[in-house]
Amino acid sequence: MKKLNVAIIGQGRSGKDIHGKYFRTEDNQFYCVKYVVDKDPFRRGVAEEIHPGCKTFADYTELYAVNDIDLVVNATYSEMHYSITRDLLLHGKNVLVEKPFGRTRYECDELIKIAKEQGVTLAVFQQTFLAPFYEFVRDTVKSGKLGEVLQVSIRYNNFARRWDWQTLQKKCAGGAYNTGPHPIGMGLGFLDFDSNTTVLYSKLGTALTSGDSDDYAKILLTAPNKPLIDLEISSIDAYSGYNIKIQGTKGTLKATPASYEMTYLQDGENPDRPLIEESLKDEAGNPVYCSETLIKHVEGEKFKGTAFNVGTAKLYEQLYYKITEGKDMTVTPEMAAAVISVIEEVHAKNPLPLKY
């Protein structure tokens, strides 16, 4: 198997410790890191140590003239994703861009259009779609085991504060743009990426952040004949306890990236109760509360792997075969663009004061 030559732009946490980490694992049978770009000389030195034999540059434009690059990973600051990806596509490079895909739907659609015109591959790094816990929940919902799903609640919450660039609106940052692509993407997945999806309600707020962007977001989505999607991205929730909770007509499932629990009913084990319109009473005629003991089934298990190892490895394997054989990927740029549509609308409806 011929390995593809990779250039990574950016050696921050994502470029070094997510993408770079994958390239250094045994899961990577597909790529060779040959070039690394970062304006910081210290980071370039570290890259040369952890990716032996790679050549480093201070400016990504130096990649234009390099002819043996099969894939460029754009792991730059969020506000740079669009402009740098656009430049790379126009110079005939295959690009994997970190989330968020862009600031606006227009930017995303333009990148998709350029990639098609140039005949190159464009992919977006939203590996949560390939995380074991999300795949399990999605497959369980599709199986009908929980009956008709009425509500999907997704929480990416904690009780913590940030004071870095990821708190600034000018950096295309904040909870909705930074963390949001994960829960919003999953939420849209439970709606089958219906083009008629509606933002029923949204609210952005600032709580513990040092910057001027959101660290609290509440978003309600739905589509015709689809469940209600209840999304939260919060820095002030110490008691969430789950990432996804499914409420269906036959049961409930809650999951984190580490494990799941599910309580459900099986057909035929709890026969329908005839409706009694009068007040209920016992044999002596005393009033009683309407209650029964349902026959329920409870199960749970731990997941093997997370979005950061299993999800990343799956996405990169799919990307390899997309570049070499034209095979479809689970995560498409169009899906990532739909995520940005929601985030853009939520920000438009909830403008925050620009302070920096």
The predicted-structure confidence for 145-154, as pLDDT tens digits, reads as follows 999 999 999 9
pLDDT at 232: 98
Average pLDDT over residues 180-209: 98
My answer on whether 105 and 166 are in the same domain is: no
Q: Which of 105, 126, 147 is the last residue of a domain?
A: 126
Q: What digits encode the pLDDT tens for the residues 12-54? A: 999 999 999 999 999 999 999 999 999 999 999 999 999 999 9
Q: Which of 107, 126, 145 is the last residue of a domain?
A: 126
Instruction: Say what percent of the chain tops pLDDT 90.
Output: 98
Whether residue 250 is contained in a domain is answered as yes
> Rounded distance, CA 204 to CA 234, Å?
10
My answer on whether 98 and 135 are in the same domain is: no
Whether residue 332 is contained in a domain is answered as no
Q: What are phi and psi of 204, to 5 degrees?
A: -115, 145
My answer on whether 148 and 98 are in the same domain is: no
Q: Band of the pLDDT at 266, cuts 50, 70, 90?
A: very high
Q: Which of 100, 126, 152 is the last residue of a domain?
A: 126
- Report the chain's mean pLDDT, rounded to a whole number: 97
What burial class does residue 280 get, using C-beta atoms within 10 Å of its C-beta: 0-12 exposed, 13-18 middle, 19+ buried?
exposed
> Rounded distance, CA 177 to CA 345, Å?
12
Helix (H) or strand (E) holding 347: helix 333-349
Average pLDDT over residues 87-91: 98
Whether residue 239 is contained in a domain is answered as yes
> Does the structure show a pLDDT above 90 at 179?
yes
Q: What digits encode the pLDDT tens for the residues 8-18? A: 999 999 999 99
My answer on whether 146 and 246 are in the same domain is: yes
Average pLDDT over residues 162-177: 97
| Residues whose CB falls within 8 Å of the CB of residue 33, separated by 6 or more in sequence, listed in order | 6, 7, 8, 20, 23, 51, 54
My answer on whether 108 and 185 are in the same domain is: no
Instruction: Determine the structural domain holding residue 86 and report its residue range.
Output: 4-126
> Does the structure show a pLDDT above 90 at 1?
no
> Rounded distance, CA 233 to CA 217, Å?
5
Q: What digits encode the pLDDT tens for the residues 93-146? A: 999 999 999 999 999 999 999 999 999 999 999 999 999 999 999 999 999 999
Residue whose pair of structure tokens reads 């939260």 in the numeric block:
232
Whether residue 174 is contained in a domain is answered as yes
My answer on whether 202 and 303 are in the same domain is: yes
Q: What are phi and psi of 49, to 5 degrees?
A: -80, -45
My answer on whether 301 and 240 are in the same domain is: yes
My answer on whether 110 and 186 are in the same domain is: no
Say how many domains are in the chain.
2
My answer on whether 265 and 121 are in the same domain is: no
My answer on whether 136 and 275 are in the same domain is: yes
> Does the structure show a pLDDT above 90 at 92?
yes
pTM for the whole structure: 0.95
